[in-house]
Amino acid sequence: MKKILVINSGSSSIKFQLIKMPGEIVIAAGLVERIGLDNSAIHYKSKKMNISEQVKIANHEEGLKRIAALLMDTEKGAIANIEEIDAIGHRVVHGGKDFADTIVIDKDVKATIKRLFSLAPLHNPHNYTGIEVAEQVFPNATQIAVFDTAFHQTLPERAYRYAIPNKLLDENYIRVYGFHGTSHKYVAEKAQDFISKKKSKVITVHLGNGCSITAIKNGKSIDHSLGFAPVNGLIMGTRSGDIDQSIIFYMVNTLGYSLNDVSELLHKKSGMLGLTGYSDLREIEEAAANGNQQCQLALEMNAYRIKKYIGAYAAAMNGLDVIVFTAGIGENSSVLRRMVCQDMDYLGIELENYKNNVRSSENRIISKESSKVLVLVIPTNEELEIAKQSYQLLV
């Protein structure tokens, strides 16, 4: 029996779970959200305590230290001392060409993760911070990295290559790597519980502050919206998604932006934030409902982009059996799910509105019985998937 603390540092949040394996028993869990904003908050649940409080959390390091303090708190905590933690499973976004599997973290692994900062500037630095803080707080625990890019190693060459000179792949390893792999893998496997046939064509739609969509044929990732770095594809909280690359040249050569300025803009000032002034979809939906036309248009653009990818991936797989919505927005936004699925009857997608409007933490069907394509909401559990892979490495 092993106690594994899973740390999942996102671009603006930290999810954590302390899980007893292999029994998959969650001892404590929580979320630090809206990091760096005035309304940041921490949520924590264990057998002893269930708390939610709004507290200013300036950065990921501060958030991780608060998590460690809660876990070991004499009144609220879930462990008596740090020796109870056998391993820390870290979600790491970008493994580049170096990591296709889960691995024990050492100095060389850390150096490579740090070298890949430029490929995932909103994530790898925070993942690295999580590792550094965990090494200080839990010095005797085995530190393990689980990479988002690993699940997408099955992409065929025609999907992962870019139409650029071959040497950029051969010498510089520029290709599609893909992200959110632990989430897409987890929900795709859960979707099989709803499918009678073993061979299936599934599209998983991961919608959070970061967003991605994956075509999964017979359990294998065959195409994916994020590429060399996690900024293209769908419209995200602060990231642009797909953009005409000539705009970058125009901004630099004509408008006087530096390359760093453009990177900052596309990663941190674009997406829903750039369109509306808000990065949190809950605020955008509320403003749209109150007549804010910019927010309404942003929602329409967001849904339209997702619909285009669904159509493309249905074509790539020559069919479609299941669509899965997951992650914070995918699981909770009935508005965006409805906008994505409406006027998709050509593909056999029929949403049942009353099912879609139900709030639930359960895996569920939200399509009509007559729908040729099954539409599911499956809450992702990247933490459990990371715990599973970490445990397999320990035993």
For the chain, list the domains and their CATH numbers.
Answer: 2-147 (3.30.420.40), 193-377 (3.30.420.40)
Count of all residues that appear for the chain in the document? 395
Are 327 and 337 contacting, i.e. CB atoms less than 8 angstroms apart?
A: no
Could you list the pLDDT tens digit for every one of the 395 residues in the chain? 899 999 988 778 888 999 999 999 999 999 999 898 888 999 999 887 888 999 999 988 888 888 888 888 877 788 888 888 999 999 998 888 788 889 999 999 999 999 988 888 878 998 998 899 889 888 899 999 999 898 999 999 999 999 999 999 999 889 999 999 999 999 999 999 999 877 899 999 999 999 999 999 999 999 999 999 889 999 999 999 999 999 999 999 999 999 999 999 999 999 999 999 998 999 999 999 999 999 999 999 999 999 999 999 999 999 999 999 999 999 999 999 999 999 999 999 999 999 999 999 999 999 999 999 999 999 999 899 999 999 999 98
322-326 and 201-207 beta bridge pairing: parallel
209 is in an annotated binding site: yes
Q: Which of 289, 290, 374, 283 is nearest to 325 (CA)?
A: 374
CA 339 from chain center: how many Å?
21
101 is in an annotated binding site: no
Cβ-based neighbour number of residue 379 at 10 Å: 19
How would you write the chain as a 3-class SS string? CEEEEEEEECCCCEEEEEEEECCCEEEEEEEEECCCCCCCEEEEEECCCEEEEECCCCCHHHHHHHHHHHHHCCCCCCCCCHHHCCEEEEEECCCCCCCCCCEECCHHHHHHHHHCHHHCCCCHHHHHHHHHHHHHHCCCCEEEEEECCHHHHHCCHHHHCCCCCCHHHHCCCCCCCCCCHHHHHHHHHHHHHHCCCCCCEEEEEEECCCEEEEEEECCEEEEECCCCCCCCCCCCCCCCCCCCCHHHHHHHHCCCCCHHHHHHHHHHCCHHHHHHCCCCHHHHHHHHHCCCHHHHHHHHHHHHHHHHHHHHHHHHHCCCCEEEEEHHHHHHCHHHHHHHHCCCHHHCCCECHHHHCCCCCCCEECECCCCCCEEEECCCCHHHHHHHHHHHHHC
Rounded to whole angstroms, what are the CA distances from 281 to 131, 207, 238, 286?
A: 29, 10, 11, 8
282 is in an annotated binding site: yes
- Tokens in use for 348? 């056999």
382 is in an annotated binding site: yes
331 is in an annotated binding site: yes
One-letter amino acid of 93: V
Q: Which residues contact 59 (CB under 8 A, 6 or more apart)?
A: 35, 36
Cis amide leading into 379 (omega within 30): no
Q: Which of 191, 238, 180, 240 is nearest to 214 (CA)?
A: 180
Active site residues: 148
Separation of alpha carbons 378 and 206, rounded Å: 10
281 is in an annotated binding site: yes
Q: Which of 202, 244, 248 is nearest to 224 (CA)?
A: 202
One-letter amino acid of 340: V
Are 299 and 339 contacting, i.e. CB atoms less than 8 angstroms apart?
A: yes
189 is in an annotated binding site: no
One-letter amino acid of 208: G
Separation of alpha carbons 327 and 386, rounded Å: 15
User: Can you give the pLDDT at residue 265?
Assistant: 96
User: Can you give the pLDDT at residue 202?
Assistant: 98
Separation of alpha carbons 395 and 392, rounded Å: 6
Are 12 and 36 contacting, i.e. CB atoms less than 8 angstroms apart?
A: yes
Q: Which of 253, 221, 204 is nearest to 363 (CA)?
A: 204
206 is in an annotated binding site: yes
Q: Which of 238, 242, 326 is nearest to 284 (CA)?
A: 238
Are 242 and 302 contacting, i.e. CB atoms less than 8 angstroms apart?
A: no
